[in-house]
Structure 1
Amino acid sequence: MPYVTSTGTRRTGAVAGRLGFGVPGCAHPLVAPAEWAELARPYTPLHWAVLNVARGPGARPDPHCLAAAVRLHEARGRVLGHLDVRFGTRPFGELLSDAHRFLEWYQVDGFYLDRCPTERPGLAEVRRIATTLRALRAPAYLVFAHGTHPHPSYVESADQLVTFSGQWADYRWSQAAAWTADYPPERFCHLVHGVPRTHLDEALRIARWQGAGTIYFTDRQGHGQADAWETLPGYWDEIVSRIGPGVTE
């Protein structure tokens, strides 16, 4: 059960802050070259983009993925390696092996822990993973992709939590957990698919109200959430202009 004890209090800090994009995984650069080129455009307000070669780093170095990562680095964007935690069931050794390959082959800036546990019993293992990843690459930027509000203690081990990942029909009625008000907007990310262009302003208001500093909204749909993230939204230029120029600090 998500840890939501919402209040109607407006998050004034989020209103004052600048939103930016967290891109959870465009398709392979050979399939989506235009998407990767757009992410590396100057002044795109990109906080991070996930590199997912083949449900992880792949079996061998991929020159096309390396080139895409280099372009993002040159544009001062963060590149995160995709690690599937499988809700805490993935063997630690497998995760560590994937992390080493991401660092060696693509010089990633951190990691995106997909399907991260949300309950307190999973906390100790996730802390172990986070500590090890930061020892491998200091500083490593870590995003825990819960997709819902986890136990509040998870925030202590991550740079950012994905506290919503899902469709627009659910997002527009969603509520923030009261404990999130104790942290600045840059600690939270919302990923929403199926957002119509006509509701883009409403979606941005919800993100600011709930205190999310990083967002990814798309009108795309798919058989699964991952399919929806593979291409940029049809209103990409519009949402970039609404958020405004920016770079990762």
Structure 2
Amino acid sequence: MDLLVPYYEHPTLRPAEWDALVAAAPLLYGVVLNPASGAGRAPDPAFVTVADRLRAAGVCVLGYTDTDYGRRPHADVLTDLVRHRDWYGADGAFFDQVPTAPEATAHYGRLGVAARAAGAATVVLNHGAQPHPSYAEVADLLVTFEGPWDTYRELDLPVADHYCHLVYAAPASARLSTRVKCAVPGGGAHPWGTLPHALECP
């Protein structure tokens, strides 16, 4: 199992869940670290601690960075990348809100180069839908679906080794078609405040 887990809860509020993530290290492709819709304005000691624990367990820590579909200035994105690296030791980058059209590929190519220069060994683009094939040259992994289970189960989505599906409001019996994946029970406005079924705490 290769779980890419975006878990957006504070470690002091959900310590048992973060313990479960660390314990599940062999199952994980990576964990998306998102202290404040990005790196924030100052390091958060609780996230520093969990990031250290994840890395010590061999888990790739992906720093969350919003790109606002290409509208966010390059310098602001780069600031987030460097803060994730310097404050949390992030060894990967998770770019959120990425467009699917080919016109933006060059912009994200530059961001990918910047991420690598900042020390990201793994770059993930979250399109949330099927992107133009040109993006495969930019990142290691493309999130080609993000949405609810009721929608996902009705679709016949393309599958490739570099595709990832993120599904919420999913039952424990949900089976996703990509190798790298995550299905969580949570829904509504904050679905990524729940762990994948395989890692749920008692």
CA distance in 2, matches of 1:83, 1:220: 22
8 Å CA contact 2:5–2:195 kept in 1: the answer is: no
Unaligned residue ranges in structure 2 (runs of 5+): none
Matched, 1:28 2:3: no
Structure of higher CA gyration radius: 1
Paired residue for 2:166, among 191, 194, 197?
Answer: 191
Aligned partners of 2:9, 2:26: CA distance in 1, in Å? 19
Q: 1:213: which partner in 2? A: 179
| Aligned match of 2:37 | 55
| In the alignment, structure 1 residue 169 sits paired with structure 2 residue 169 | no
SS in 2 for 1:134: helix
CA RMSD of aligned residues (A): 1.6
Shift of 1:140: 2.2
Q: TM-score, normalised by structure 1?
A: 0.76
Q: 2:133 aligns with which of 152, 162, 174?
A: 152
Give the deviation of 1:237 after TM superposition: 4.5
Aligned length: 200
Return the structure number with greater helix share: 1
CA–CA distance in structure 2, aligned partners of residues 131 and 44 of structure 1: 28
For the 8 Å contact 1:26–1:36, the answer to whether it is kept is: no
> Hey, which of these two has a bigger chunk of strand by percent?
2
Contact 2:54 2:60 in 1 (8 A): yes
In 2, the alpha carbon distance for the partners of 1:26 and 1:84 equals: 14
Q: Which secondary structure state, in structure 1, belongs to the residue aligned with residue 18 of structure 2?
A: helix
List structure 1 runs of 4+ shifted beyond 6 angstroms.
none
1:145-197 residue CA offsets vs partner (Å, 9 max, x unmatched): 001100011011100000110001110011223xx5xx5x2x11111111123
Unmatched segments (≥5 aa) in structure 1: 1-18, 239-249
Q: What secondary structure does 1:40 align onto?
A: helix
Identity, % of aligned pairs? 38
- The equivalent of 2:89 in structure 1 is 107
Deviation at 1:97, TM superposition (A): 0.8
* CA drift at 1:48: 0.5
AA aligned to 2:87 is W
TM-score, with normalisation over the residues of structure 2?
Answer: 0.93
Matching residue of 1:93? 75
Work out which structure has the larger RCO, using CA pairs closer than 8 Å and 6 or more positions apart in sequence.
1
Contact 2:20 2:199 in 1 (8 A): no
> CA separation in 2, counterparts of 1:29 and 1:123?
35
Aligned to 2:58: 76
Give the direction of change, closer, same or farther, for the CA distance of 1:43–1:60 in structure 2 (3 Å limit).
closer
